[in-house]
Structure 1
């Protein structure tokens, strides 16, 4: 049963990422940063939508580390964007 849940989780993430690439391409806004943010948002949504009620399988416990790395990457992107917006000499 858990392999079926894991497969459903992976398929959902791959579909989300493909739709993200397609959407960004159609909007002519495809960049690595935007793709990363859209993929992270999709990952967090899929993690919550597929969360079991009673028992957490072992493979889902490892998702915490992926979420942590994703949030660190997101923080890095936000800091870079803020520093790019700020005028010279503010920091």
Structure 2
């Protein structure tokens, strides 16, 4: 059973992702890489903004793994782009 806070978190994340996809599509820049980056940034922002100040909630501890994997994938995207720019400039 989900709590109201979990539903709020999921609604905010889904809304962020849909808005990001709509904006990227309207700008003609809809790629998997940019959708991932926008979604990951949204996950980080929504996680930070909805974190309770004076309480520890168990389900938020499970967000650690998606955030860690997302950070690794984001770092891989940055590394590949940096390598492409470096090799392209030679």
Aligned partner of 2:7 in structure 1 is 7
The Cα RMSD (Å) is 1.3
Structure-2 separation of matches of 1:72 and 1:59: 22
How does 1:1-91 map onto structure 2 within 5 Å? 3-87=3-87
SS state at 2:45 partner: helix
TM-score (normalised: structure 1): 0.91
Unaligned runs of 5+ in 1: none
1:57-80 Cα offsets, whole Å, 9 max, x none, are 111011111110110010010011
Report the count of equivalent residues.
88
TM-score (normalised: structure 2): 0.92
1:5-60 Cα offsets, whole Å, 9 max, x none, are 00000000000000000000000000001110100111111001100011121110
Moved over 4 A (4+): none
